Amino acid sequence: MLIKRNFRPVRRSPRQWWNTSVQVFAGPAHLDGIGINLSDGGMCLFAIANLPVGTQLELEFLAPEAEQPVRVSGKVRHRALYLYGIEFLADAQSDDSRAVRGEMAAS
């Protein structure tokens, strides 16, 4: 018996291509990174760093259409060399977290 499966990546929210500077705060470390794409649930980040999967961090960046930088909490969920999949933490209910989610929903 042959079972045909249709494997399509399923994402919780659509990604928006985006290129901007990101300040990364991981414990006492402060790094510079580049945001590659963004969704209301997270971002793809390029940073020359050694951030293991599971690392909690803070990210500061200028979200699309924002006038002021936002700062959100996140966690490294995926790593491929210097590319990181960052999930914004659901319990981050700061004004900045809501601003990123609101702006992504509007675009």
Q: Which CATH class is domain 16-91?
A: mainly beta
CA nearest to 44, candidates 73, 69, 79, 11: 79
Greatest Cα pair distance, the chain, in angstroms, is 58
Please classify residue 79 by burial: count the beta carbons closer than 10 Å to its beta carbon, then call 0-12 exposed, 13-18 middle and 19+ buried: middle
Q: What is the pLDDT of residues 4-28, one digit of tens each?
A: 566 556 666 777 888 999 999 999 9
Q: Where are the domains of the chain?
A: 16-91
pTM metric for this prediction: 0.75
DSSP state string for 10-21: --SS--EEEEEE
- Backbone φ and ψ of 22, nearest 5°: -130, 130
Q: Report the C-alpha gap between 30 and 99 in whole angstroms.
A: 23
Give, in order, the Cα–Cα distances in Å from 61 to each of 5, 11, 94: 39, 23, 15
Helix (H, G, I), strand (E, B) or coil at 3: coil
HSE, side-chain direction, 13 A CA sphere, residue 19: 0
Q: What is the pLDDT of residues 22-64, one digit of tens each?
A: 999 999 999 999 999 999 899 999 999 999 999 999 999 998 8
